[in-house]
Amino acid sequence: MKTIAAQPFDFSFDPARLALIVIDMQRDFIEPGGFGATLGNDVRLLSAIVPTVGRLLEAFRGADLPIIHTRECHKPDLSDCPPAKRLRGKPSMRIGDPGTMGRILIAGEPGADIVPELAAKPGEIVLDKPGKGAFYATPLGDILAERGITHLVLAGVTTEVCVQTTMREANDRGFECLLAEDATESYFPEFKKAALDMIRAQGAIVGWTATVDQIAEALR
Ligand code: TIU
């Protein structure tokens, strides 16, 4: 067993049962002209964490532990995109519309891919998901069960949307979850802070948080 001096208290895990899930580090959220920008967000906040997510990936690669990358995207015919999602609000472009990186949030388009600095290496799993949570309408639960995974480290964007949703889904499925606090980001700094606070509150009601340095140290 190993222990990370996490918040709100120590996070103990068996490395043989630990996996990393990196949520939606896609060009559509991180580069100008993608889904994040169409929603009116300043995407520069998110690009700042790319090197830190890279260090987290290297720590898991160095320890030879499972890595799963997710991509939020939809089929080209939009059959997996509910109108309630596509038609919500007044974005400058909607999911499926042609943008500067191809069709917005559509599988196979350049914008839906992971930023090149964080591209998956051979043997790592890349999972496309139509929802905010990574368990909904994906084989993630089976993938983790097959590998005997009980503990998860989460990272990626955005903290209070897809990352927090996935962490809550994982809780309901019995996983112990730790969020890498400097390897996640929001378009709204106050929402990131609130999400970290509410995850750790009430005795880790959703889970733990720790820095990439703390996680990497434990995996060395
Ligand atoms: N808009 C926003 O903050 N996030 C998303 O739409 N998806 C993810 O968080 N991946």
Report field, pTM of the whole predicted structure over 0.85? yes
| Residue owning the nearest CA to atom 8 of ligand 1 | 162
Can you read off the two tokens belonging to residue 71? 């991509």
Residue 10 burial (C-beta neighbours within 10 Å; 0-12, 13-18, 19+): exposed
Q: Give strand pairing partners of 98.
A: 103
Dist. CA 104 → ligand 1 center (Å): 13
CA distances (Å), origin 139, targets 29, 71, 144, 205 = 23, 13, 9, 25
| Residue owning the nearest CA to atom 1 of ligand 1 | 36
pLDDT the model gives residue 193: 98
Rounded CA gap, 147 and 18, in Å? 9
Positions annotated as catalytic residues are 24, 129, 162
Mean pLDDT calculated for residue range 109-129: 98
Dist. CA 161 → ligand 1 center (Å): 5
Smallest Cα–Cα separation from 179: which of 65, 16, 67, 21?
21
Mean pLDDT calculated for residue range 11-17: 98
Instruction: Give the model confidence (pLDDT) of 155-206 as tens digits.
Output: 999 999 999 999 999 999 999 999 999 999 999 999 999 999 999 999 999 9
Rounded CA gap, 203 and 215, in Å? 20
